[in-house]
């Protein structure tokens, strides 16, 4: 048994902002939704919400994020940056790199997949859902929801995910041992905080350069965006964080909201 513990995460995380306040629930609808409620009550920037299980965990495009109790990491972080809406969209990239950092601290090579997934051995190990709240046209809060498969085993994935289990993995499966969820959460917070401060200080150029170097660019992908389904080569990430794909007919598309999968 590897229980999540708010005090353990606070003490382990070497941070100045993130995790000074950590709230833990055994089960919530989703950690993002719980943090939205705390924002309405005046939650401080850097507040972290963790839950052992989510009953209505969410991914991008309204997808369900399966969140069984006792094995994985489900947390959300509150930021209040003075940024434009296009700039806040880049925090999905920041979050995916922070997850990749924590995974790689266990000796496993991780790769980021546009826009919000982290892969190990071409299988999804985690992802991020960044959501912005605005008030009078200004950014009121940026909530970053993070989900990582840590200790779920292969039979558990097969049971929960069905056919989709073939495209999923966990850190336990990758390294062959149980992972300390509190220590992993602390590592995510440390990396996320450093990347947040780096972005505020240096802008998007270093972020985009690193993301490109750790991504699946150069590979053949399939793109699904609304009713469009095309294939091509993922070429680069543009300055707005959109994926640029060269199609087989020689044309180029910029993908902003769709779903991209390597072939």
**Is the sign of the CA dihedral 218, 221, 224, 230 positive or negative?**
positive
Length of the chain counted residue by residue: 263
Contact 243, 115 (CB under 8 A): yes
Task: Please list, in sequence order, all residues whose beta carbon lies within 8 angstroms of the beta carbon of residue 208, skipping any fewer than 6 positions away.
Answer: 90, 93, 237, 239, 241
- The reported pLDDT for the residue numbered 216 is 87
Report d(CA 50, CA 189) in Å as an integer. Answer: 12
Domains of the chain: which residue ranges?
6-212, 217-262
**What's the N-to-C CA distance of the chain in angstroms?**
37
Could you give the percent of the chain with pLDDT greater than 70?
95
Structural element, H or E, at residue 188:
helix 181-202
Structural element, H or E, at residue 23:
strand 22-28
Give the predicted TM-score (pTM) of the model. 0.92
Question: Which residue did the predictor score with more confidence, 89 or 259?
Answer: 89
Q: What is the mean pLDDT of residues 21-38?
A: 95
6-212 placed in CATH 3.30.930.10? yes
- The reported pLDDT for the residue numbered 60 is 45
Q: What is the mean pLDDT of residues 88-105?
A: 97
Report d(CA 185, CA 10) in Å as an integer. Answer: 10
- Nearest 5°: the CA angle 148, 209, 102 is 25
Q: What is the mean pLDDT of residues 44-65?
A: 76
CATH fold of the domain at 217-262 = SH3 type barrels. (2.30.30)
Of 114, 174, 115, 112, nearest in space to 149 by CA = 174
Lowest mean per-residue pLDDT among 21-25, 36-40, 164-168, 208-212: 164-168
Report d(CA 201, CA 166) in Å as an integer. Answer: 40
169 has a pLDDT exceeding 90: yes
């Amino acid at each position: 048994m590897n229980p999540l513990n708010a005090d353990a995460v606070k003490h382990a995380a070497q941070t100045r902002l993130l995790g000074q306040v950590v709230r833990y629930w055994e089960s919530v609808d989703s950690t993002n939704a719980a943090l939205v409620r705390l924002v309405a009550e005046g939650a401080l920037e850097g507040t972290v919400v963790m839950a052992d299980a989510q009953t209505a965990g969410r991914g991008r495009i309204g997808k369900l994020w399966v969140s069984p109790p006792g094995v994985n990491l489900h947390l959300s972080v509150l930021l209040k940056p003075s940024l434009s809406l296009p700039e806040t969209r880049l925090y999905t990239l920041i979050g995916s790199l922070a997850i990749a950092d924590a995974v790689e601290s266990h000796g496993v090579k991780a790769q980021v997949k546009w826009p919000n997934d982290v892969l190990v051995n071409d299988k999804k190990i985690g992802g991020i859902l960044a959501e912005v709240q605005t008030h009078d046209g200004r950014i009121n809060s940026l909530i970053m929801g993070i989900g990582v498969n840590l200790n779920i085993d292969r039979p558990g994935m097969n049971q929960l995910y069905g056919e989709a289990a073939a495209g999923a993995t966990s850190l336990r499966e990758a390294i062959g041992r149980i992972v300390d969820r509190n220590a992993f959460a602390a590592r995510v917070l440390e990396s996320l905080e450093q990347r947040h401060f780096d972005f505020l200080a240096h802008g998007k150029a270093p972020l985009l350069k690193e993301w490109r170097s750790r991504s699946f660019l150069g590979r053949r992908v399939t793109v699904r965006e609304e009713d469009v389904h095309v294939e091509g080569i993922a070429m680069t990430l543009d300055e707005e964080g959109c994926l640029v794909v060269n199609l087989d007919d020689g044309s180029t598309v910029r993908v902003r909201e769709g779903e991209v999968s390597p072939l």
